[in-house]
Amino acid sequence: MSVRSTARALPTMLRVAFAEAVAYRAEVLVWMLATTMPLIMLALWLAVAREGPVGRLGETELIAYFLSTFIVRQFTGSWACWQINTEVRDGTLAMRLLRPVHPMLAYAAEQLVSVPVRGIFSLPIAIAGLIWLGTAPFPHDPLVWMGWALSMLGAWLISLFVNFIVGCSSLFLESSLKIMDIWLALFFVFSGYLIPVELFPPIVRAIGDWLPFRYQIGLPVELMTGVYDRAASLTMLGRQWLMVVVLGAFTAFVWRRGIGRFAAYGG
């Protein structure tokens, strides 16, 4: 396969993947409902905040934080791990290998087109809440918002690469879904999905700065809610994109090693 053939096939892949996402919109809706935990956590944290602010987070800041978390989670999630595990077990991965497009690009296209479908369902709820809050809890610097957009892309790529790595591990194991379960348990704790990262003890925050979890949720949410100035935003974005590069390289390594085993098994 070449870059030219991939570029020619990409629009068709996106159209087909979008049609599948719309056709299986009930499945997309189920995935969305599975990511509404920030709204539940918002209710819990508001009950706590009635006694007084939690750190710097009063009721307004908590609403802004968890609505932002809901938005970020909707647009940066990935389920490629489950898809790869299934296709390795039932052998349909072989069909992808026959196509003139790298399977990883095909998986990425299928994940990408779900974003607008998710937006149709989730954005009205989130935007209504954010409008109700007003602009006070959010940054007014356009450069910070540009950094936020970049952090959303980085968060999506980190989620995608982690799913690829764990999914490709099924080429070595009978199933790698338990590995993903462990990853998700750590993700829920350290990403800021359930607990704002700034409420962690300093030593936990310092460790978390060098783990990928917080760059999947915490960083985009913190940029969206104005936690960082320009300099701090650039520092955190640099760390996030370092994670993207490392995970991307490791994805390529695991795929090359794993796909050889799949060919030997199928051949």
What are the pLDDT digits (tens) for 127-178? 777 777 777 778 888 888 999 999 999 999 999 999 999 999 988 887 788 8
Question: Does pLDDT of 183 surpass 80?
Answer: yes
Q: Dihedral (C-alpha) 75, 213, 27, 40: value to the nearest 10 degrees?
A: -90
Q: What are the angstrom distances between the C-alpha of 236 and each of 77, 201, 222, 228?
A: 20, 18, 10, 9
**Burial code of 150-169, b = ≥16 C-beta within 10 A, e = fewer?**
bbbebbbbbbbbbbbbbbbb
Question: Does pLDDT of 243 surpass 90?
Answer: yes
Question: Does pLDDT of 239 surpass 90?
Answer: yes
- More confident of the two residues 178 and 15: 178
Q: What are the angstrom distances between the C-alpha of 27 and each of 34, 118, 228?
A: 11, 11, 36
Q: Output the pLDDT for position 235.
A: 92
Note the maximum CA span of the chain.
65
Q: Which of 209, 224, 238 is nearest to 152 (CA)?
A: 224
Mean pLDDT, range 209-228, rounded to an integer: 90
Q: Output the pLDDT for position 267.
A: 46
Q: How confident is the model at residue 121 (pLDDT cuts 50, 70, 90)?
A: low
Q: How confident is the model at residue 120 (pLDDT cuts 50, 70, 90)?
A: confident
Mean pLDDT, range 178-186, rounded to an integer: 91
Question: Does pLDDT of 7 surpass 90?
Answer: no
Judged by phi (left if over 0) then psi (alpha if -120 to 50, else beta), residue 2 lies in beta
Question: Does pLDDT of 210 surpass 50?
Answer: yes
Tokens read off for 44: 């819990």
Mean pLDDT, range 89-113, rounded to an integer: 84
Q: Which of 87, 211, 216 is nearest to 160 (CA)?
A: 216
Helix (H) or strand (E) holding 183: helix 177-190
In a 3-state reduction of DSSP, which class is residue 225? coil
Dist. CA 216–CA 186, nearest whole Å = 12
Note the Cα 260 to chain centre separation in Å: 28
- Are 233 and 223 in contact by the 8 Å Cβ rule? The answer is yes
Partners of 196 in the β-ladder: none
| Sign (positive or negative) of CA dihedral 35, 56, 197, 51 | negative
Dist. CA 202–CA 61, nearest whole Å = 20
Mean pLDDT, range 79-98, rounded to an integer: 87
Question: Does pLDDT of 72 surpass 70?
Answer: yes
Q: Output the pLDDT for position 175.
A: 76
- 25-39, 107-121, 126-140, 207-221: lowest mean pLDDT where? 25-39
Q: How confident is the model at residue 34 (pLDDT cuts 50, 70, 90)?
A: low
- Locate tokens 């390594």: which residue? 253
Q: How confident is the model at residue 248 (pLDDT cuts 50, 70, 90)?
A: very high
Helices vs strands, H then E, count in the chain: 13, 0
Question: Does pLDDT of 53 surpass 70?
Answer: yes
CB under 8 A, 24+ apart: contacts of 30-37: 31/77, 31/79, 31/114, 31/118, 32/74, 32/118, 32/121, 32/122, 35/70, 35/73, 35/74, 35/77, 36/70, 37/188, 37/193, 37/194
